[in-house]
Amino acid sequence: MHNLHQRYDGLVFDMDGTLADTMPTHYNAWSQSMALHGIEFSEERFYQLGGVPALHIVKMLAEEQDVVLKESIEAIAHAKEELFIELASNVQPIAEVMAIAEAHRGLMPMAIATGSETWMAEKILTALGVLDWFGAIVGAGCVNQPKPAPDTFLLAAKRIGVDPGRCHAFEDTQIGITAAQSAGMDVVDVNTLRGRPLEGAGL
């Protein structure tokens, strides 16, 4: 994994759950935000709903628990994102994947292909001190078709000037792996590097 520049021309990394261990922080923000509105949100349920848009989650939980919301769903989802931003400095790197990125920094172009918004990805990568390692960050607002469509990975490869077929991708979810493979990239499930099972969904 530390001599990929001999076989590929570019590396493309997912961020959430791949380079950055953001999920515990997302759950912290969700549980605090929902508690303010009298809604319970278990950690098990949170991971089951990985990749589901925030607006859908708020609406679903409120209906299931017969909670009458005093604010709009949009306002509640926005407040959750604001709290996540406050907590973002607590996000930890995923060491096994970060080591691969560090080993190839400066040897070949690298990009981020994420389901998070680009500005959010930039904030987290800045907090981790690695923003300048990546020549491009392709976030949710950059493409019309999100993962599992290949568009995010195709645009990431284009922005670093590398043929997608000459890129190696890193992902932690089946949705992301499908997207990278559909773009023509070789892809590694980073859970195998960490000795963990594949997550069902994610960003």
Which residue numbers are catalytic? Answer: 14
Residue 150 is given by DSSP the state S
Are 42 and 193 in contact, with CB atoms under 8 Å apart? no
Give the total residue count for the chain: 203
- For 112, list phi and psi in degrees, rounded to 5: -110, 135
Q: How far apart are CA 14 and CA 115, in angstroms?
A: 8
Are 192 and 202 in contact, with CB atoms under 8 Å apart? no
By DSSP bridging, strand 20-21 and strand 92-93 are antiparallel
